[in-house]
Amino acid sequence: MDSASGPEPVITSRNLRKMYGPHLALDNINLDIPPGAIGILGPNGAGKSTLFKCLLGLITTTSGEGTVLGYDIRTEGDKIRSKIGYMPEYDALDPGLTGVDQVRYSGELLGMNPAHATRRAHEVLQYVGLKDQRYRKIETYSTGMKQAAKLACALVHDPDLLICDEPTNGLDQRAREFMLQTLKKTVSEGNRTVLMSSHVMDDVQDVCDRIVMIHQGKIVVQRRIDDLADQVEREIEISVWGGASKMQEELESRGLVVRRMGRVMRVIRVDDSTTTEIINAASNAEVQVRQMQEYDPDLEDIFLLIMDKLGAEVKGTSDLMTEAHTGGEETA
Ligand SMILES: Nc1ncnc2c1ncn2[C@@H]1O[C@H](COP(=O)(O)OP(=O)(O)OP(=O)(O)O)[C@@H](O)[C@H]1O
Ligand SMILES: [Mg+2]
């Protein structure tokens, strides 16, 4: 974890814990989130939505404490919700309303006067790309348009902090790119803080400068994306010609840790001698090493390596997206 120096944190928590009956959904959550773009990453059921609801004061925490924009999540949930924008995971729109009426209504619920809410509804619908569709009923909207409308509702009162639960869920490539672009713009031009959850590495990598990975209700990584590579061991990638199994055995008999993907293998680099060990192993196994280079992991690899260490059954981020949501949400 990084040092606490730098700007005032927007969100903090200490030993936050949430139980649903006997089920421990969040455990020992300690957050120090500075302004910027932060991605909350984790497999299905990790606790991402639960964390958001705790931070918003929508559900009561079992123990521990936290602040959002300086307000106490246990006692000042109403203040927090009036200051921040929240884009929930599930559809929270009224199909019978037009885009403008839906967003204006959200603004009025947040205490805005009708004239101001109406003016802002037009502004934010344009901002999220729904200018031409704003007088259409929500029931005629595509999934992408509904996600954009949810974002407009979250932005209507011009919040400093935006919390988006899976903003790209169900979107096709074009809608997804537009959503990510809009979130990026909100951070860079609007100078806002965005906290977004996702299953998809690429989304987070695209928008965020920091990451919090959650696994089974616990934070496993919390740091700048640029520093993530330090979290995993460096690997040397080799590609061999013939006898890959023999090569793997030979490497493992030397105490090296190998991940094999057909002819390509990645060997954890212990020190400078690892390369020599690989060459000697190849000579013993009588295989030809076609390529050997230090492997540069991307965010997806790092995520998988970390999850692998934790014993999670995750094969790729695409796996994480296939599981259907089962609902059963607790609402305020
Ligand atoms: N209202 C509830 N009552 C009981 N258990 C719940 C409730 N909401 C969530 N859970 C459980 O708490 C755990 C965390 O759920 P949560 O929805 O926060 O995960 P998530 O990371 O948002 O998952 P997903 O990626 O599927 O949205 C899961 O095991 C879930 O089944
Ligand atoms: Mg969720």
Span 194-216, average pLDDT = 89
Regarding the beta carbon of 230 and ligand 1, being less than 6 Å apart is answered no
Regarding the beta carbon of 25 and ligand 1, being less than 6 Å apart is answered yes
Residues constituting the chain: 332
pLDDT at 323: 36
CATH of segment(s) 233-295:
3.30.70.1560
Regarding the beta carbon of 57 and ligand 1, being less than 6 Å apart is answered no
Q: How do the domains of the chain map onto residue ranges? A: 11-229, 233-295
Ligand 2 (single-atom ion) residues, CB below 5 Å: 48-49, 89
pLDDT at 234: 87
Of 50, 56, 203, 325, best ligand 1 pocket probe by most atoms within 8 Å of the beta carbon: 50
CATH of segment(s) 11-229:
3.40.50.300
Q: Is 15 left (phi over 0), alpha (psi -120 to 50) or beta?
A: left
**Stated pTM of the model:** 0.80
Encode pLDDT of 40-97 as tens digits: 998 889 999 999 999 999 999 999 999 999 999 999 999 999 899 999 998 789 999 9
Regarding the beta carbon of 326 and ligand 1, being less than 6 Å apart is answered no
Closest by Cα among 295, 245, 241 to 267: 295
Q: Which percentage of the chain shows pLDDT scores above 90? A: 70
Mean pLDDT, the chain, whole residue set: 88
Whole-number Å distance, alpha carbon 31 to ligand 2 midpoint, is 18
Cβ neighbours of residue 109 under 8 Å, at least 6 residues apart? none
For 195, counting Cβ atoms within 10 Å of its Cβ (0-12 exposed, 13-18 middle, 19+ buried), the class is buried
Residue 311: pLDDT band with limits 50, 70, 90: low
Regarding the beta carbon of 42 and ligand 1, being less than 6 Å apart is answered yes
